[in-house]
Amino acid sequence: MVFNSPPGLTRRRLLLSTTAALFFAAAGDAGAVIIKGATPWKPFDYDPPETLGPSGWYFFTPDEAATMSAIVERLIPADDLSVSGKDAGCAQFIDRQLAGSYGTFERLYMQAPFLPPTPMQGDQLELVPQQRYRIGLAALDAHCRQTLQKPFAQLSGDQQDTVLKGLEKGEIELKGISAKPFFSIMLQNTMEGFFADPIYGGNRDMASWKMLGFPGARYDYRDYVELHNKKIDLQPLSIAGRGGWKERG
C-alpha cells in the first residue's frame, strides 16, 4: 500500500504530531494544573518532622539548661549582625534534639567494638548524645566549681571563654568524657540550632536567616528567578509557614 500524505507533511512529522496530540489529550484528561502560591496540601502530611512544643525543657534539668544557655551565648555572642545563640534559642534546639531520636542515636549502629578513630573516620564514641551532654555538663560544672569556685553559668564572660577554649584544645580533664569531642558536639549542635528551620526550636524569629538574607522554605520562586542582580527583600518563611517561636524557654 502506498502512503499518501498531504503536501509538505512527511511520515515523521505525522507521527510526531500524533504523539503530541495524544500527550496533550492525556494531560487534559488528567486535569494537570500549574500550582502557584499556597500549596494545596498541609506541610508534612506524609512525613512529619520530629518536633516538640515551643516552651519548657524536655531533656535538660534546670541546672543543665542554665549551663547550656551560657555556653551557646559564648559560642555565638550577640553583635551588630545578629542576636546571640542564647537569644536565638540554640539551647532549646539542642534540648529538643536530645529528647528525640537524635539523643539516643536511634538510627545509627551503636555496637562494640569502639576503637579510637583514624583521621579518615568520624565520631567513634560509645556514648550517645544524651549521655554525652548529661555526663559532660555535670563534669564541666564540677571542674568549674573545683577550679573557679562557681558553676559555669555564674562565671564571667572572660572566664567562660577561657574554659571553652580549654575544652576545645583538650587541656581540661572531665570525669567520664573527653573534653575535645564534648566541645565538638556542643559547637556542632549550636551551629545547627542557629541556622536550622525554626520549627525545631532554634533560629528564633529566623534571626540567622534575616542576617543572611535567606528567604526560607518558600514553595514558589518562579516570580524571582529571572530577576538577576537585584536585591529581593522577602521575609523568610519556616517550612511550617510560620515565623518561629517567640516564647522564651
pLDDT tens by residue, 174-200: 999 999 999 999 999 999 999 999 999
Cell numbers found for residue 189: 549542635
- Dihedral sign for Cα 236, 189, 134, 155, please: negative
Residue spans per domain, the chain: 62-111+123-205
Residues of the chain with pLDDT under 50: 1-3, 14-16, 22-25, 27, 244-249
- Name residue 248's amino acid: R
Give the alpha-carbon dihedral of 63, 201, 74, 164, to 10 degrees: 60
Q: Is the pTM of this model over 0.75?
A: no
- pLDDT on residue 153: 97
Rounded Cα gap, residues 45 and 57, in angstroms: 27
Rounded Cα gap, residues 181 and 117, in angstroms: 12
- pLDDT on residue 243: 52
Cell numbers found for residue 25: 489529550
Q: What is the pLDDT of residues 96-125, one digit of tens each?
A: 999 998 988 776 666 666 677 777 776 667
Cell numbers found for residue 2: 502506498
Is 152 in contact with 144 (CB distance < 8 Å)?
yes
Backbone φ and ψ of 124, nearest 5°? -125, 15
Is 63 in contact with 154 (CB distance < 8 Å)?
no
Biggest CA-to-CA distance, the chain: 103
- pLDDT on residue 239: 83
Residues 6 or more apart in contact with residue 54 via CB below 8 angstroms: 201, 245, 247, 249
- pLDDT on residue 246: 42
Placement of cell 553583635 in the chain: 79
For residue 52, give the nearest of 89, 93, 85 by alpha carbon: 93
- Bridge partners for 237 per DSSP: 216
Placement of cell 555535670 in the chain: 138
How long a stretch of residues is the chain?
Answer: 249
Burial 16-50 (b: 16+ CB within 10 A, else e): eeeeeeeeeeeeeeeeeeeeeeeeeeeeeeeeeee
Provide the 10 A C-beta neighbour count for residue 202.
31
